[in-house]
Amino acid sequence: MFKDIEHLIRLAVVIVVLLAIFVVLRAAVVPKSFGQYGHYRGAAIAEAAARPIAFAGHDVCEGCHTDVVEQKKQGKHVVVACEACHGALAKHADDPTSVTPPKLDTAVVCARCHEANSAKPKGFPQVVTADHSGGIACDTCHQPHKPKIEEQKAEVKPTGKSRTEGKN
């Protein structure tokens, strides 16, 4: 019937071979987890989750530093997590003896939050540090974990108006 069928067979063979190459290449190249959850590599989710952490979280800190927890409970800084001031310390939590956190300079650390700025919420305690302390370290008078100065101990209290001063 088809006297020139040979060239059609040749064409079919070429198409089948190309298809086979496509299927094999696709299987080799597309990652196994692609399409597991959607049009992306499913394994990428676990990869993102596998990254090591830098901040340990205050629950870990409080496991050992119970004295500081008690101190913080008596003041307003109870809501401030340890690493907000002390920095990322997951390495210290993993190995507390050989990795020790650096000592903080309160003149810098306290001012980050408490330096007066008209965009800060009005009820937030803020001071113009230059007027308030003249640049001396805040922990000269304030205990950072329990910042309110108690009256009977306040011999070197500079102005005593830290909560109202410098608000715009």
Partner 1 sequence: MDITRRRMLVLLPAAAVAWKYVQAGTPELSPNYKLSEHWWSMLIDIPKCIGCGSCVRACAEENDVPDGYFRTWIERYHVADWKIERPEVESPNGGKQGFPPNEISGGKNFFVPKLCNHCADSPCTQVCPVGATFVTPDGVVLVDKNYCLGCRYCVQACPYGCRFINPKTNTAEKCTLCYHRITKGLTTACCEVCPTGARQLADLKNPEDPIHEFLRTHNVQVLKPHMATGAKVFYNGMDGSVR
Q: What is the DSSP string of 86-115?
A: H---HHHHHSTTT--PPPP-HHHHHHHHHB
Give the nearest distance from C-beta 3 to partner 1 in angstroms: 44
Q: Does 121 engage in binding with partner 1 (CB under 8 A)? A: yes
Among 66, 79, 98, 155, binds partner 1 (CB under 8 A): 79
Q: Does 112 engage in binding with partner 1 (CB under 8 A)? A: yes
Among 4, 6, 52, 95, binds partner 1 (CB under 8 A): 52
Q: Does 87 engage in binding with partner 1 (CB under 8 A)? A: yes
Q: Does 168 engage in binding with partner 1 (CB under 8 A)? A: yes
Q: Does 152 engage in binding with partner 1 (CB under 8 A)? A: no
Among 100, 98, 129, 101, smallest CA distance to 113 is for 129
Q: Does 104 engage in binding with partner 1 (CB under 8 A)? A: no
- Cα(79)–Cα(1) distance, rounded to whole angstroms? 90
Bridge partners (DSSP) listed for residue 34: 41
Q: For residue 68, give every residue at least 6 positions away whose Cβ sits within 8 Å of its Cβ, in sequence order, or none.
A: 61, 62, 82, 145
- The two three-digit tokens of residue 168, written as one number: 């715009």
Give the nearest distance from C-beta 93 to partner 1 in angstroms: 12
CA dihedral 23, 25, 27, 28 (to 10 degrees): 160
Give the nearest distance from C-beta 142 to partner 1 in angstroms: 15
Among 16, 25, 88, 154, binds partner 1 (CB under 8 A): 88
Among 4, 6, 47, 151, binds partner 1 (CB under 8 A): 47
Cα dist. 14→20, 74, 88, 167 in Å? 10, 82, 62, 82
26-45: contacts with partner 1 (CB under 8 A)? 28-29, 31-34, 37-41, 43-45
